[in-house]
């Protein structure tokens, strides 16, 4: 993330380094949330909203997503691996910054409040 006084040479060096380690750098203005986090959380928000509103078993959603080939694992299992506390924190930050287009899963918040943070504690949406 470049600042107002970051030189173009420094930006170019950082972009070159990212490409050397096989990452795709994206330049944008400074905004709340990284670009990829915003994109992923936008999609995840809708998954979390549908799951909660329709009371769909998270395993069904994860299985469907995995079998579709669109992602290597389902969003709830991925959230468990990342840490439900971390995922909830990012979702809450994006919701505060951008409004209700970013949804915070009440089910995930409840798991976090109960100390079930996913893989790091052995229990989340799944038992690990």
For residue range 76-99, list pLDDT tens digits in order.
Answer: 999 999 999 999 999 999 999 999
Predicted confidence (pLDDT) at residue 109 exceeds the cutoff of 90: yes
Q: What is the pLDDT of residue 27?
A: 86
Per-residue pLDDT band at 107 (split at 50, 70, 90): very high
Q: What is the pTM of this model?
A: 0.80
Backbone φ, ψ for residue 70 (5° rounding): -80, -20
Q: Could you say which architecture CATH assigns to the domain 31-128?
A: Orthogonal Bundle (1.10)
Q: What is the DSSP letter of 126?
A: S
- CA–CA gap between residue 44 and residue 75 (Å, rounded): 7
Tens digits of per-residue pLDDT, 4-44? 898 999 999 999 999 999 998 888 777 777 888 888 899 99
Q: Where in the chain is the domain with CATH 1.10.1040.50?
A: 31-128
Residues 6+ apart with CB under 8 A from 75: 43, 44, 47, 48, 61, 62, 65
């Amino acid at each position: 993330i470049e600042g107002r006084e970051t030189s173009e040479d420094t930006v170019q060096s950082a972009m070159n380094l990212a490409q050397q380690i096989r990452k795709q750098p994206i330049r944008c203005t400074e905004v709340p949330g990284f670009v990829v986090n915003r994109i992923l959380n936008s999609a995840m928000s809708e998954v979390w909203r549908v799951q909660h509103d329709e009371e769909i078993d998270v395993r069904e959603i994860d299985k469907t997503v995995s079998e579709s080939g669109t992602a290597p694992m389902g969003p709830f299992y991925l959230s468990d691996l990342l840490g439900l506390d971390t995922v909830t924190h990012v979702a809450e930050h994006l919701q505060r910054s951008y409004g209700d287009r970013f949804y915070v899963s009440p089910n995930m918040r409840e798991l976090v409040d109960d100390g079930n943070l996913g893989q790091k504690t052995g229990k989340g949406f799944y038992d690990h």
